[in-house]
Amino acid sequence: MEHAVSENVIAGNAMTRRARYMYGTDLPIDPQGHIDTGLGKGLARGPLTLIQPTDLISESGARRIDGVDINFQLVPDSEAPAEMMMYFPAQRVLNTAELTSQQMHNIYTLRGAEVRNASQWSRYIDETLDRFGPISDVVIAQHHWPVWDSARAQEFLAGQRDLYKFIHDQTVRLMNQGYRPGEIAETLQLPASQAHRWYARGYYGTLRHNARGVYQRYLGWYDGNPANLDPPAPVDAARKTIEYMGGIEAVLERARADYAAGKYRWVASVMSQAVFAEPDNRAARQLQADALEQLGYQAEAGPWRDVYLSGAQDLRAPRETPPSDPELRADLLRSLDTGMFFDLLGVRLNGPKAEGKHIVINWVFTDTDERFRLNLQNSALTWLADRQASSPDAALTLTRQTLDSILLGESSFPKALRNGEIHVEGDVKKVVELLGLMETFDPDFPLIEPKAGGQLPAR
């Protein structure tokens, strides 16, 4: 529950924006647009909600739920930070959740998330194969079709186990030989014994971006080349690169010739530089869009196709921001524990505007019997639970229900103050000052072109 909420709140705005590219949610559903996500035909339609469980499975073992015997196997830090598989002994059914699929899954997901531990992932599949494989007549999962017959199910589990271990080990092998992420992605190939199997194909995750994910998990974004340690800002680098290449017209002429020769990856790359150098250059935008479109049509992975085609669409036409789902947002905000709320305030704090300010506020929630000390200092907002500062600037007393109402936009801090739903002791102006330092996030920030004409945020 904690991970389900935190992943969608702390980095939720950035992840949601990128997910629109990954899943092609803004694309038309037709032969030139979205056709598949790799895990299914598309994202679910209709309202999205989050129903809080009444009972949490916190350890592996057998449980009886509504008369059904289930053996839970917790598998954290695998396909997700929190994950579990289930075996149903009476039915001889093994549910592998998302640890196995009828294609290669994501070790790194294009929408952005924690890189998965592919080695641990493989080990969990091996453990469940050893324990439950011989006594399972069918393997089911959260995506795709079942695998019937014990022998076929065990072969499937072994293949999935070996797939993620191969990607992990061979990436790390090449990494330790000094190869960089792009070189590993360009070189790595599945063995012949796996390459022809449907469940190892890159219809969702791909060998190329999963290898980069494994590299990132161990060594991060820096590839060891000092030239890449502190490169120029993207727009500055793009403008200088185009200048070095003879100017925008010369670049366009050469890129058109490369496009005609089918060199779409190169054209997409160099036209990205051109668009960052001159965001309003229609010819550069059109040529990059054409190249991305061709890459999308050639892509085997559903997310790659959607990413390429979404980028092409954004280059050609202004986009509309889809409305956020109010039911899911309400469920997520209600599910935040109070500490997560203060974490959310921390990431919304405008650091430069907070420079030189020191504000200490005590919070008391009467209905949940929670107490927090909130401290703004050195442009960082920190909090401690079960603490109260001895000399705060202000002390707030309220209910968690009041806070939820404010988070959902049904009320506001000024309104709650006026209505007496929040009681303040001390300097109420300090509370107003702190809240005035919070930013809202743009749900439609650009991905394919520079933000705000290439202007960097204020330092």
3-state secondary structure of 278: coil
For residue 64, give every residue at least 6 positions away whose Cβ sits within 8 Å of its Cβ, in sequence order, or none.
70
Identify the band that residue 335 occupies on the pLDDT scale cut at 50, 70 and 90. confident
Does position 210 have pLDDT exceeding 70, yes or no?
yes
pLDDT of residue 324: 61
Tokens at 110, concatenated: 């294009």
CA distances from 323 to 17, 108, 411, 443, 444 (A): 12, 27, 20, 9, 11
Contact present, 231 and 200 (Cβ < 8 Å): no
Residue 211 burial class via C-beta count within 10 angstroms: exposed 0-12, middle 13-18, buried 19 and up: buried
Does position 85 have pLDDT exceeding 80, yes or no?
yes
**CATH number corresponding to 57-219:** 3.60.15.30
2-40 pLDDT, tens digit per residue, is 777 777 777 888 888 999 999 999 999 999 999 999 988
Query: Hey, where are the domains in the chain?
Result: 57-219, 326-435
pTM equals 0.90
For residue 137, give every residue at least 6 positions away whose Cβ sits within 8 Å of its Cβ, in sequence order, or none.
92, 93, 148, 149, 150, 153
pLDDT of residue 455: 64
Q: Lowest-confidence range among 218-227, 283-292, 385-394, 404-413?
A: 404-413
pLDDT of residue 328: 58
291-308 pLDDT, tens digit per residue, is 999 999 999 999 999 999
- Chain position carrying tokens 């899943």: 23
Bridging pattern class, strands 394-398 and 423-426? antiparallel
**What type of residue is 81?**
P
Domain covering 326-435 assigned CATH 3.30.1050.10 in the classification: yes
